[in-house]
Amino acid sequence: MERAIFAGGCFWCMIKPFDALPGIHSVFSGYTGGHVENPTYEQVKSHQTGHTEAVEIIFDPEQISYKELVELYWQQTDPTDAFGQFEDRGDNYRPVIFYFNEEQRQIAEESKQALADSGKFKEPIVTSIEPAVTFYLAEEEHQDYYKKHPENYARNAKRRKTFIENVWLEK
């Protein structure tokens, strides 16, 4: 098994796209990139810890590649928005691909460059690519949020869903 960590706004909305794919062992909501050990949701939300809401994906590279995960990641985000995603604003919602080794870094960098070269966006691709650091699991209430609270999830994911349909899905 290997690990991938992606930040793309609210972690509630980042679980579902990866959750049911073949080769995915688990997807967890959590916090990474900050300076406080074992942060809470309230602390992260206060913008005082430096953490970003993210998802940690445990996957079998024999069934799904890291490159495939990165490609799916792009399609869940607005890669031109560095200060949050959709209705979620602030540094704790910034888009980041966290890498664990040189191969992951290279895949992420090449994918980002390919997206920039594609002309799909007029604005620059600003998603960060950073080395992975400690990932802290979010509280239980934030795990599998889309399954536990489907109505609230749908309401929170509305702008994201519209963006994905308008920008990423072929018409």
Task: Tell me how far apart the alpha carbons of residues 164 and 13 are, in angstroms, rounded to a whole number.
Answer: 12
Q: Does 10 qualify as catalytic in the annotation?
A: yes
CA 155 to chain centre: 19
- In degrees rounded to 5, what are phi and psi of residue 113? -65, -40
Distances (CA, A) of 139 to 29, 49, 59: 8, 16, 22
Catalytic: which of 4, 5, 7, 10?
A: 10
Query: Tokens in use for 4?
Result: 């991938």
84 DSSP β-pair partners: 89
Task: Tell me how far apart the alpha carbons of residues 46 and 35 are, in angstroms, rounded to a whole number.
Answer: 13
3-state secondary structure of 168: helix
* Three-point CA angle 68, 133, 57, nearest 5°: 30
Active-site residues: which are they? Answer: 10
